[in-house]
Amino acid sequence: MINNKIKISNKIEILKMKNNLRNNFDDKKCFNLSDNESDIAENYKNFTKSAVLCLLISNGSNYNLDIVLTKRSKHLKYHKGQISLPGGKLEAQDKGDFQQCAYREAYEEIGFEQNKAIYLGKLNKYITGSGFLIQPIVVLLEEVQNFVMNRQEVTSILHFPVNYLLSGDVINKVYLDEDQNKYFLNIYWKKNKIWGATAKILIDLINLLKINND
């Protein structure tokens, strides 16, 4: 068990996190979730471009962090009923800007107000078996915000405690072949199953946050 706690409590830690994200980011690289290996983003130029928002919130006076997740409506076309990060497809109005896409989608889904958040950076892109190229955008909520659900897209808003992934053996691999080369990740939290792209993004983000607190 790991006893260290992840937090971002001051300007120095915010700057460190920005530097970690910037140093880790490579716009030409992506992680292929079907093959569980790194690849070149250019190979997937025909995939549907999308962005998700990794929205971090300081939880109380101890500055422990939560990340905002949503439970998607069962009426949506893609990933219905799944636990996910706020986000969606890059639209014409985004003008190719992944950050703008993540902000817009989070506003539409949960009423996210970008003027209350500090932009921290980006994770590398992810490729899904369903044909999406996902760009995660990482922000820290600077002020308390009351979220408002768009019930056509979201059935609940969840505050997932980042330090939960440091609490023990809570990440499971589900293998898809006998050689154990292909698998997806599961995180069970309370009565929720977080899996696939969302699980991988959370794990990668939290590994960067751990570096930030070393």
At residue 87, what is the residue type? G
Domains parsed from the chain with CATH numbers: 11-166+195-212 (3.90.79.10)
Per-residue confidence (pLDDT) for residue 63, from 0 to 100:
66
Q: What is the DSSP letter of 13?
A: H
Q: Which of 51-55, 165-169, 171-175 has the lowest mean pLDDT?
A: 165-169
The predicted model gives 93-106 an average pLDDT of 97
At residue 72, what is the residue type? R
Please answer whether residues 147 and 111 qualify as being in contact, where contact means their C-beta atoms are separated by less than 8 angstroms.
yes
Per-residue confidence (pLDDT) for residue 72, from 0 to 100:
78
What's the token pair of residue 45?
């130029």
Among 176, 201, 173, CA closest to 188: 173
Mean pLDDT of the chain: 87
Per-residue confidence (pLDDT) for residue 168, from 0 to 100:
67
Residue 139 has pLDDT above 70, yes or no: yes
Residue 4 has pLDDT above 60, yes or no: no
Sign of CA dihedral 90, 140, 208, 160: negative
Confidence category of residue 3, pLDDT binned at 50, 70, 90: very low
**How many C-beta atoms lie closer than 10 Å to residue 30's C-beta?**
22
> Above pLDDT 90, what percent of the chain?
54
> Above pLDDT 70, what percent of the chain?
88
Q: What is the dihedral of CA 27, 67, 144, 125, to 10 degrees?
A: 10
Confidence category of residue 23, pLDDT binned at 50, 70, 90: very high
Please answer whether residues 210 and 6 qualify as being in contact, where contact means their C-beta atoms are separated by less than 8 angstroms.
yes
Q: Which of 28-32, 149-153, 158-162, 205-209 has the lowest mean pLDDT?
A: 149-153
Confidence category of residue 71, pLDDT binned at 50, 70, 90: confident
Residues 6+ apart with CB under 8 A from 148: 110, 111
Please answer whether residues 109 and 129 qualify as being in contact, where contact means their C-beta atoms are separated by less than 8 angstroms.
no
Per-residue confidence (pLDDT) for residue 1, from 0 to 100:
33
